[in-house]
Structure 1
Amino acid sequence: MRSVHAREMDGCGVLGRVWGGWRWGLRVCAAPKDAGFVTRARHQLQPRSSSKRLGPLEDQPFLGLLQPKKLSREELVEVLRAAVVDQKGPLVTLNKPQGLPVTGKPEELTLLSVLPELSQCLGLGKQELQVVRAPGKETSGLVLLSSCPQTTSRLQKFFTHSRRAQRPTATYCAVTDGIPAISEGKIQAALKLEHTDAVNLVVPVKNPSRKDILEGVKKTLSHFRVVVTSSGCALVQLQPVTVFPSQLQVHMVLQLCPVLGDHTYAARVGTVLGQRFLLPAESTKPQKQVLAEALLSRLRLTPAQAAQLPLHLHLHRLLLPGTRPRDTPVELLAPLPPYFSRTLQCLGLHQQ
């Protein structure tokens, strides 16, 4: 297996590669055979410690966070050019900042809207880039672009075949508010999209009927592994097998451990006398995530800052097919955003 590493972004060190299992910090967990892992590798997720690079933690809670509404088209193109992980032939891979939508309204500044300028900037001429795979607006991480329709088709067939064979091709990092009851396993749930109060929300469906499936309910599956825990939080590795909007966020809510910075679905987790429980999804409206005072103290955030906390969900790793059918997969890696690394430092979610 060949690995391609992202360039350093905003002082966050490139992820190291070694072999023989997944390594986060210094803790090694063997990949279970039934988890659908295509390859085994271990990666150092922690940036090299440097207070000079990060600055005082309390002064820079959201270091490196992108604000697309404040950028011009030219500035966004430059940000994306600097975020390129790899460019070979028609394929371009970049490390998308959190908060950047992939698509949107015609007047909105999105990844899709600036692809013509990015194609020119990368020297592709008239070969305009198309999006092959990308995480949602609130998720950071790897985006796969192609300037060749045949290459795009080949990659899409690879991803489709992998899903049908239940072989995950994407690995996400997440920080959760709460610790899952078990250290690793599968999360299965039937989900549907509901249009409520002018927004689309994902709602779980218990015991879906055949009619439900025909009307848009989808059975979803994700693998998860708790990498390290501290301060009532966890660093979790997530590998979705199926594809559905907000799948990973909703799956972690069903584990009573919402992703940190989830201001849409975290409100579905209630607490009474220290015990967590699920509130009815249909009647629970989205609201800013409420964090315990002890957690706010560890994060060195005020309640007002916590209300702006970005979603801590990052597409860290993608597998692509080799040039020939029997070639080993190509592995693309991207470093964590600086604010994500800061959170890990504040919570003590590092080598043990």
Structure 2
Amino acid sequence: MRGCRVWGRLWGGCGQTPGVHAAAKGFGTEARHHQQPRGSSRQSGPLRDQPFPGLLQPENLSRPLVTLNKPQGLPVTGKPGELTLLSVLPELSQSLGLGEQELQVVRAPGKETSGLVLLSSCPQTASRLQKFFSHSRRTQRPTATYCAVTDGIPATTEGKIQAALKLEHTDGVNLAVPVKPPSRKDILEGVKRTLSHFRVMATGSGCALVQLQPLTVFPSQLQVHMVLQLCPVLGDHTYSARVGTVLGQRFLLPAESTKPRKQVLDEALLRHLHLTPSQAAQLPLHLHLHCLHLPGARPMAAPIEFLAPLPSYFSRTLQCLGLHQP
């Protein structure tokens, strides 16, 4: 499983393998680590898809953290016997020489989303990181940055997307459906108020490269939020059907009565992408967990960024559409 990296020493040590390097098969390119100077407000750019020039060994790390760059289409969990992220963790632990220490998933994108996976072999570290992520959500501080290519360009270059969402079981699939406005009863019955930040990084050929930072956690939140902006994520074969077009004007169709179907792209966009309609129907979701922000090893230490390069198909799409970071 290529693309696996291990860091030791985070908030003290319970691991025995500081500085371990690993080569794990099947996970594509390597995640990258970047330590940002304290007090810096620099936004990490989403367009870094260069090979990682060796494995860094950050100083002051002692509890093993493992990062993977997960391919699109690999689920985190599944039925017994299916290939999932969890199903490969025992083999990965053995290949890293962790012995009896079991790897736990701390953070991972969903099945159709590619990008950074954060694992830990220390239960205390995993628990502290989960508490950190929960606290960050409560204080509305983003810890994850996603990159997306959208079919359409948002009306504003940046802003917040807020929506109350619920899950509805339709034709054997759980779909996220907006609720407007939610009542107290709705909230008690599982409706959740969701929030994301977005920022348009580049535009071209009627599409946009968008940076997304979710401040809440809900299944398919980012896909639905971009549909509400009338700009579905490229390769979204679940929610893009909710955006209709009449005489070139886009509008939202009722989510409750709109069934998932393969995304339909206009002829001009197909030409830019050099795809046939049948090929476009197999296009992977262009949503990638690019960066995770973690606290430093000590209270006053600089924050840590873990970066995962873009998949090759994502980079190809950017090139075809002329989307380049300003």
State TM-score, norm by structure 2: 0.85
- Checking the alignment, whether the CA contact within 8 Å between 2:31 and 2:116 is kept in structure 1 is no
Counterpart of 1:231, as a letter, is S
Displacement, 1:89?
3.2
Q: Which residue of 1 aligns with 2:20?
A: none
Q: Which residue of 2 aligns with 1:29?
A: none
Counterpart CA distance in 2 for 1:43 and 1:16 is 14
Identity %: 78
Counterpart CA distance in 1 for 2:82 and 2:136 is 33
Q: Which residue of 1 aligns with 2:255?
A: 281
- Of residues 222, 226, 235, the one that matches 2:196 is 222
* Deviation per residue, 1:300-341 (Å, 9 max, x gap): 011111010000000000011211223221110110000000
Greater Cα shift, 339-348 or 314-323: 314-323
Q: Which residue of 1 aligns with 2:11?
A: none
Counterpart CA distance in 2 for 1:85 and 1:205 is 47
Counterpart CA distance in 2 for 1:193 and 1:224 is 23
Counterpart of 1:244, as a letter, is F
- Checking the alignment, whether the CA contact within 8 Å between 2:164 and 2:194 is kept in structure 1 is yes
- Checking the alignment, whether the CA contact within 8 Å between 2:204 and 2:322 is kept in structure 1 is yes
* Deviation per residue, 1:89-133 (Å, 9 max, x gap): 321111111110000111211001111111001111110101011
Gaps of 5+ in 1: 21-36, 54-82
Counterpart CA distance in 2 for 1:291 and 1:282 is 23
Distance 1:85 1:136, change over 3 A: farther
Q: Which residue of 2 aligns with 1:293?
A: 267
- Checking the alignment, whether the CA contact within 8 Å between 1:171 and 1:238 is kept in structure 2 is yes
Counterpart CA distance in 2 for 1:307 and 1:84 is 39
* Deviation per residue, 1:144-164 (Å, 9 max, x gap): 101111001110110010000
- Checking the alignment, whether the CA contact within 8 Å between 1:15 and 1:43 is kept in structure 2 is no
Q: Which residue of 2 aligns with 1:109?
A: 83
Q: In the alignment, is residue 311 of structure 1 matched against residue 313 of structure 2?
A: no
Counterpart CA distance in 2 for 1:101 and 1:14 is 18
Q: Which residue of 1 aligns with 2:213?
A: 239
Counterpart of 2:223, as a letter, is Q
Counterpart CA distance in 2 for 1:46 and 1:223 is 21
Counterpart of 1:222, as a letter, is S
Counterpart CA distance in 1 for 2:248 and 2:300 is 52
- Of residues 217, 235, 253, the one that matches 2:227 is 253
Counterpart CA distance in 2 for 1:11 and 1:217 is 37
- Checking the alignment, whether the CA contact within 8 Å between 2:76 and 2:86 is kept in structure 1 is yes
Higher helix share: 1
Q: In the alignment, is residue 177 of structure 1 matched against residue 179 of structure 2?
A: no
Q: Which residue of 2 aligns with 1:63?
A: none
* Deviation per residue, 1:272-315 (Å, 9 max, x gap): 00000000000000000000010000000111110100000000
Q: Which residue of 1 aligns with 2:16?
A: none
Aligned Cα root-mean-square deviation (Å):
2.8
Q: Which residue of 2 aligns with 1:40?
A: 42
Distance 1:18 1:318, change over 3 A: closer
- The 3-state SS of whatever aligns with 1:325 is coil
- Checking the alignment, whether the CA contact within 8 Å between 1:193 and 1:203 is kept in structure 2 is yes
Displacement, 1:43?
2.8
Q: In the alignment, is residue 194 of structure 1 matched against residue 138 of structure 2?
A: no
Q: Which residue of 2 aligns with 1:208?
A: 182
Q: Which residue of 2 aligns with 1:68?
A: none
- The 3-state SS of whatever aligns with 1:250 is helix
Greater Cα shift, 315-324 or 164-173: 315-324
Q: Which residue of 2 aligns with 1:57?
A: none
Aligned residue pairs, count: 297
Counterpart CA distance in 2 for 1:10 and 1:213 is 38
- Checking the alignment, whether the CA contact within 8 Å between 1:322 and 1:328 is kept in structure 2 is yes
- The 3-state SS of whatever aligns with 1:162 is helix
Q: Which residue of 2 aligns with 1:270?
A: 244
Greater Cα shift, 117-126 or 318-327: 318-327
Displacement, 1:38?
9.0
Counterpart CA distance in 2 for 1:159 and 1:85 is 24
Counterpart of 2:225, as a letter, is H
Gaps of 5+ in 2: 1-6, 8-22
- Checking the alignment, whether the CA contact within 8 Å between 2:67 and 2:119 is kept in structure 1 is yes
State TM-score, norm by structure 1: 0.79
Distance 1:215 1:351, change over 3 A: closer
